[in-house]
Structure 1
């Protein structure tokens, strides 16, 4: 009080008038129409100014009017409203961006007096959006003005984002201080170590459907004006998504965005844009409004694209990959790692239910083949979704009761086979193994008996090895006679064609090597946008074939064998396997056919192994080879060579262990499924049995000398198959 009295007496002695409204006790004072609070260190609108702004917006939008006439303005009304909102924009981050169309509308009025005084113009859609944005912000209880705290005092959040065309967007963040490009010229120092990035602090996804449609239209546009802003919009959307996902965690923080798009960086720093792209403006407005409601101090830093692609992780995230391992950066570009990363849902489950790091989870995921992992995930997600819909709070670890309820629901739907349900159960069991939990519940007598009940309850399916002609899913094996018929037909038709040499080498190699067609050919998607090193890490190339004794002997008949190096197979994922094939001579020898093909087709060692004729020549795709193969018989497919080789090996008396080794099967059970029991062999065994017990004389037993395959037999093709 003494200080107040002293101040009052001093002003009176100097002849100064004190304004009572600004000389009150407390922590709040009104200055220049704004209310300053020294306790919360915030600046907001005074109550009167706030109510006036809402009243003007009410009148402009006719929120309380029953009139059906469209909203309209005179020039003076529009100028009054725009000027008042411009005044408020001083404490609203990004507020100026929401005044563009209001200012542009003032140019529509005639400039001569007195026409412009009473002239009215209707409100446009863009103007309405701006006014609705202001009304929503000012009427929201979450908006409390801006903070007076300096950004350096706030806790920092650093976010890295990236966008990759229409493939996807991604980003991650770390809490705490970090270097900025203005400090260091070595951009490799700007990236946090991979082990510091938690899976829950990173995201990778495709844009929403509406945005993807808009981008697809622009990519197919013929004008550069429409194509150019595509990446700008994606980069901005990536930043927008970070605040959508984690905005509530960033409240009252200083957020630093690291982006390699200079247009987006400038727009965020200026909090406005000159772009006419309505979608870009919309996301920028929403981003700034979200930042204002969360009381965020936004900083944006530009990074060169080269630095972002080489040293930073977001390009990997934006391509729907999860490279969160503490491995060296040289491993990030390794093709063997880039195409086998776990889905986000599985990764989140592992990290939330264990104490594993992201690197440990990725290595654990790679313990099984990708096809096996994805098959297990189908069953696991089916189980988790069932427990969620039935409101079972703790699905993991699984109990006998939960498993019985789930299996009953699967069997009752009758939309899955018994073998599929059992595979689903194996997927849930595999997840328990990943988590280090006990799996005794899956092997209990009750579960086994229940599975037998499902097998009896559902319609039975014919096993693959018992399917015969007439079944659409029948995979006819190619036996020795069938292979000879096919190769002879190719030789008769086109004896000197390079494509024919390639086809003969493919067919002979597939049969003698117990191969699926997909192992020695390629898919169309593998031939597009794939680097030579990445292609060679997954598929056979010319350097995968090595002849013995020396390469100089290719033109002679002195070859003893051929070594094939499979870079990756279904049973040995990411581990090369070597197989040797002996040279036995004759017109069907795969070694001599391959050597002859190499002599007529000289190409680089890193190129695909087999090429078809054409201009330019194209590598053999699986669809191309199977289509030609089915010209000889409609039941032939990619597994016919592998099934035929296993069946023939069993007929000539090779042991199961030898067949398993030749076919590279993981178990004898898997190999046994490829062996088709020959009717001729069954007749021979029955004849031996009946002759040995004296039911019939040995002369009356008739063992057919002709294979039943020759009855319906493989037809010789008298005309070239399509594609040759």
Structure 2
């Protein structure tokens, strides 16, 4: 059983656990057999309940995935593998199409502007170097936040970028990403970053400078002076502070805006779709939704 639970990312397991707990709370309020193992009838009732509450079809699909996962993990038949459940969610999704998020891209002018504000937002030169490095890494590598920073100060997953995964040469840096959203089995991928003529935003120069002061203790690469990891919450909060200081609306951006910006800038510069797909390590045409020149703030 433990092996099955370990087959999904820790964040996915937490999400599944919460979804099933809410399902069980609903099922316990119904008359009939015990709520678990789940039955198709109760699953269909729960879907109707969620639809009545206005939940999106994507949310209901995640609920079905959670119930299905724990049912099969416990050796029970999958109550979600039925025509009615699949078609109901698909129909509700067509009736209310998913509205894409409206996050703006962080473009090169915005990157330069927020990097300028980093020293004033951070309380020490070390923290400024840490944040500067995180920002340029996120942009030039088109990284997801979870590929770079820890989920929390005590994140046991070990999925944050590790010091051992950063290999520096004179004019390039090789970043090994051992796990990602689309690589839960940890096959790994190497991202090659090259020097930029603009020293203010050069990722190679930033990483080389940060390595001079980085504690060099085993574990995450992006750490504070005391060795504790930079967390996703801190990354997001400091990004908002820099955006605010630079005069941009923080609510219209998120850490994912670096990845959106990388795809948008690449498209504006004329890179072909296949190159953009490789840049962000997308396995499908999902990268097209990240190209948002119309959402870019003109600087």
2:237 alignment counterpart: 627
- The equivalences for 1:392-471 within 5 A come to 392-393=32-33, 396=37, 398-399=39-40, 401-412=41-52, 414=53, 416-434=55-73, 442=81, 444=83, 446-452=84-90, 454-455=92-93, 462-464=99-101, 467=102
**Partner of 2:67: helix, strand, or coil?**
helix
**Partner of 1:645: helix, strand, or coil?**
helix
Kindly indicate whether residue 5 of structure 2 is the aligned counterpart of residue 365 of structure 1. yes
Kindly indicate whether residue 218 of structure 2 is the aligned counterpart of residue 606 of structure 1. yes
Conservation of the 8 A alpha-carbon contact between 2:138 and 2:145: yes
Question: Alpha carbons of 1:447 and 1:653: their partners in 2 closer, same or farther (altered >3 Å)?
Answer: farther
Question: Alpha carbons of 1:441 and 1:488: their partners in 2 closer, same or farther (altered >3 Å)?
Answer: closer
2:297 alignment counterpart: 709
2:209 alignment counterpart: 596
**Partner of 1:363: helix, strand, or coil?**
helix
164, 168, 193: which is aligned to 1:547? 168
Question: Alpha carbons of 1:366 and 1:454: their partners in 2 closer, same or farther (altered >3 Å)?
Answer: same
CA–CA separation in structure 1 for the residues paired with 2:272 and 2:81? 33
CA–CA separation in structure 1 for the residues paired with 2:74 and 2:255? 37
Question: Alpha carbons of 1:571 and 1:679: their partners in 2 closer, same or farther (altered >3 Å)?
Answer: closer
Query: Residue 511 of structure 1: CA displacement?
Result: 0.7
1:377 alignment counterpart: 17
1:572 alignment counterpart: 183
Question: Alpha carbons of 1:514 and 1:422: their partners in 2 closer, same or farther (altered >3 Å)?
Answer: same
CA–CA separation in structure 2 for the residues paired with 1:484 and 1:629? 13
Conservation of the 8 A alpha-carbon contact between 2:217 and 2:227: no
96, 99, 104: which is aligned to 1:476? 104
Give the TM-score, by structure 1 length. Answer: 0.35
Aligned residues: 288
Conservation of the 8 A alpha-carbon contact between 2:174 and 2:190: yes
1:648 alignment counterpart: 265
Give the TM-score, by structure 2 length. Answer: 0.75
Larger RCO: Structure 1 or Structure 2 (Cα < 8 Å, ≥ 6 residues apart)? 2
Conservation of the 8 A alpha-carbon contact between 2:105 and 2:258: yes
Kindly indicate whether residue 112 of structure 2 is the aligned counterpart of residue 500 of structure 1. no
Query: Residue 590 of structure 1: CA displacement?
Result: 0.8
CA–CA separation in structure 2 for the residues paired with 1:429 and 1:618? 37
Query: Residue 437 of structure 1: CA displacement?
Result: 6.5
Query: Residue 375 of structure 1: CA displacement?
Result: 2.4
Conservation of the 8 A alpha-carbon contact between 1:565 and 1:578: yes
Question: Alpha carbons of 1:563 and 1:454: their partners in 2 closer, same or farther (altered >3 Å)?
Answer: same
Question: Alpha carbons of 1:525 and 1:592: their partners in 2 closer, same or farther (altered >3 Å)?
Answer: closer
What whole-Å deviation, never above 9, does each CA across 1:234-278 have from its counterpart, x for those lacking one?
Answer: xxxxxxxxxxxxxxxxxxxxxxxxxxxxxxxxxxxxxxxxxxxxx
CA–CA separation in structure 1 for the residues paired with 2:24 and 2:112? 52
Query: Residue 510 of structure 1: CA displacement?
Result: 0.9
CA–CA separation in structure 1 for the residues paired with 2:79 and 2:33? 21
Conservation of the 8 A alpha-carbon contact between 1:544 and 1:565: yes
- For structure 2, the residue ranges without an aligned partner over 5 or more in a row are none
CA–CA separation in structure 1 for the residues paired with 2:214 and 2:26? 57
1:105 alignment counterpart: none
Conservation of the 8 A alpha-carbon contact between 2:105 and 2:292: no
CA–CA separation in structure 2 for the residues paired with 1:498 and 1:370? 31
Query: Residue 478 of structure 1: CA displacement?
Result: 0.7
Conservation of the 8 A alpha-carbon contact between 1:543 and 1:605: no
What whole-Å deviation, never above 9, does each CA across 1:683-724 have from its counterpart, x for those lacking one?
Answer: xxxxxxxxxxxxxxxxxxxxxxxxx511xx4xxxxxxxxxxx
- Higher-Rg structure is 1
**Partner of 1:442: helix, strand, or coil?**
coil
Conservation of the 8 A alpha-carbon contact between 1:561 and 1:580: no
1:279 alignment counterpart: none
Query: Residue 442 of structure 1: CA displacement?
Result: 3.3
What whole-Å deviation, never above 9, does each CA across 1:167-225 have from its counterpart, x for those lacking one?
Answer: xxxxxxxxxxxxxxxxxxxxxxxxxxxxxxxxxxxxxxxxxxxxxxxxxxxxxxxxxxx
2:147 alignment counterpart: 519
126, 135, 138: which is aligned to 1:510? 138
2:293 alignment counterpart: 678
2:255 alignment counterpart: 638
1:294 alignment counterpart: none
CA–CA separation in structure 1 for the residues paired with 2:48 and 2:188? 42
CA–CA separation in structure 2 for the residues paired with 1:380 and 1:618? 33
